[in-house]
Structures are given as structure tokens and as C-alpha cells.
Amino acid sequence: MIEKLKAIEQEVKVLILNNADETEMFRLKYLSKKGLINDLFEEFKTIPNDQKKEVGKYMNILKQTAQEKLDSAQVKFSTDKQNSSNIIDTSLPGDAQKIGTQHPLVLIEKEIFRIFNTLGFSLAYGPEIEDDWHNFSGLNFPENHPARDMQDTFFIEKDIALRTHTSSVQIRLMEKQSPPLRAIMPGRVYRNEAISARAHCFFHQVEGIYIDKKVSFADLKQTLYYFVKEMFGEEFEVRFRPSYFPFTEPSAEMDISCTICKGKGCNVCKYTGWVEILGCGMIDTNVLQANNINPEEYSGFAFGMGIERITMLKYNIKDLRVFSINDMRFLQQFESE
């Protein structure tokens, strides 16, 4: 038997395996359950006990030789599929990690900060839950006056409501600081409106205020012209229309030529070629007086704009609801930090 084992071992040793198929044939012939080596182990059981030690040694040598040959051939001829699961290829490019993007409203808000910052405006914030004084009375809305219905208000209790505009922060600023004042005040505002492509029950505004000696309507216009040029570029036209707000006199609304159709007429500008972007005016003397600022000495202007509106014009977005439904396909289109 020893001779037979030696012969087989020699045979295994000289065998050359050239590919995966030959390797598999080799495995079946020698090392599978029904293979030659298993058969030899069966035969081994029948030999006299005193020979077992010697024969066993050759059995093991044969098995080891065959197994080593099989192992190295399997590594050599393993398919790509096996390769990737067994071996880490450090030369392959890594899996890209997705980083979050900034919300378009945040991007535009930052741009608004940047523009007004170059004009010396600082930042101020106020609470979203407001009392009647800051949201209405302090801003010269007379009690029971229909102007209070200009904005549909969510009341929390009598005289406490979710702010309907960021103009409330004007009052908070005037209480805390004395002129000269120059600040922008961003934040979320709430109105009890049916949700549609053009309106939402919450949105964002940026309020601006400038109070100093001899501030004029010309200063207001130049400031806002500068803002539009910086935000949208030189090619857009601007116009002021007379308007009414209880806290400004005179009051105006500012339109820019439609950024979507470039003034030709489309459904965003309702075929007028113009879109309203903000309300503004000279701060009413009643508002200054109510906050202990002498209107003989100081004058000022204020403006308030909707961040959603600016963002829609800037990015050509036609439905306001996309800002709050968190659709990743929409959000991923914007820059990250």
C-alpha cells in the first residue's frame, strides 16, 4: 500500500493545473467525498493494525500534498466574484459619501445677509410668538382697525399670536437700542392661509430698518436698488408702486421685472412682466414716537421681503410647497457648505 501511496503522491506532485475547470476536476478526482483519497482511507481501515502507523504517515503526506495543490490553484483561478468577496482591492475607488446640502432658503438668506452686511446692516432676531403690541399696536395698527385683517392671524390666546410678519422685530429693536439703527431681521412668520403654489401658512421674511438723522426716501430706494443688482444682476428693472402699511408713510411696494420670462409675460408674473418682491416705506412718525424716538431729530426707512419669493425667482421655482415637503430629489440639487 505504501508503494501505491507514493506513486499517487508523485502523480499529484507533477500534475499541472491550468485553469479553474482543471482545478475542479482535480478536486473531484482526489479530494471529494467520492474521490481517490477518501477511498484510500476506507482501504486504510482494513489493513493490519501494526502497519497502520507507517501507512498512515504516507496517507497524510498524500492528503496534504493534494490539498495544498488544490488550495493554491483555487486562489489562482478563482473568479472575479469570489475575488471581491475574499480579497480587498485597495486600488479600487472608494464609495462616495453623500454630504448634506443646504436648504435653498438658507442659501438665499445667507446671500441677503451678505448683501446688507456690505451696507453696514447688522443682524437681529425676535420671537415667533408675539404679543399684540409688537405685532400690531406698536406698529400703529389701531385697535379694531381693518388693517389688522390684512394678515390672517393665528391667535394662541387673546393678544398673543404667532407673528404675522417680522416687522414685530423692528419694535423690539427700537426698545432695546437708540438710533442710529441699521439692522436686518430674518425669521419665520405665520398666516392663516390656505396652502397653495403661491401661499403657505408659514414662510420666511427678512425685515430691514435704518434710523438715523436725515434718512430719506432716496436712501431707501438706493439701498433696495443695490440689493436687487447684487441679488439678481444688472439686467433687471425695478419699480416702486405706492402702497399702504400702517407703520410706514409714505409706503411702497417694489417690483422687479420678471426673472422667469425677462419681462415678456408668463404665469409667474401673471402676464404683467413684473413681480412684487417687498413692501417698504418711511417709518411712520407714530411708530417712532411710540418708541421714544424723536421724529424731529430722526427719520428712518423699513422694508420687508419674503425669502421664498426671492428664492423662487432666483432658482426658477414655481411652487412654494416644495420648500417644506422635504423631497430629497429637490433638496439635493443645491450646494452644500
Interface residues with ligand PHE (CB under 6 A) are 165, 167, 207, 245, 248, 279-281, 302-304
Cβ closest to ligand PHE, residue 9 vs residue 109: 109
Sign, CA torsion 139/176/170/127 = negative
Read off the amino acid at residue 304.
G
Which residue's CB atom is positioned nearest to ligand PHE? Answer: 304
The CA R_g of the chain, rounded to the nearest whole Å, is: 40
Phi, psi of 181 (to 5 degrees): -125, 135
**Cα 85 to Cα 89: distance, rounded to the nearest angstrom:** 10
C-beta of 248 vs 291, nearer to ligand PHE: 248
- Residue closer to ligand PHE, measured from CB, 269 or 302: 302
Taking the least distance from each CB to ligand PHE, the nearer of 63 and 204 is: 204
Tell me the closest approach of the beta carbon of residue 94 to ligand PHE, in angstroms.
Answer: 49
Listed residue (163, 205, 212, 161) closest to 184, CA to CA: 205
Minimum CB separation of residue 170 from ligand PHE in Å reads: 7
Question: Least distance to ligand PHE from the beta carbon of 302, Å?
Answer: 4
Residue nearer to ligand PHE on the CB measure, 55 or 169: 169
Q: CB nearer to ligand PHE: give 58 or 303.
A: 303
- In sequence order, the 6+-apart residues with CB closer than 8 A to the CB of 35 are 27, 28, 29
Q: Are strands 160-162 and 129-131 parallel, antiparallel or unpaired?
A: antiparallel
Runs of H (alpha helix) within 78-215: 80-86, 104-118, 132-135, 167-176
Least separation in angstroms between residue 149's CB and ligand PHE is 13
Beta-carbon neighbour count of residue 249 at 10 Å? 15
Minimum CB distance to ligand PHE smaller for 282 or for 313: 282
Cα 51 from Cα 58, distance rounded (Å):
11
CA distances (Å), origin 220, targets 97, 209, 217? 46, 10, 5
**β-strand pairing of 122-123 with 181-190:** parallel
Smallest gap, in angstroms, from Cβ of residue 152 to ligand PHE?
12
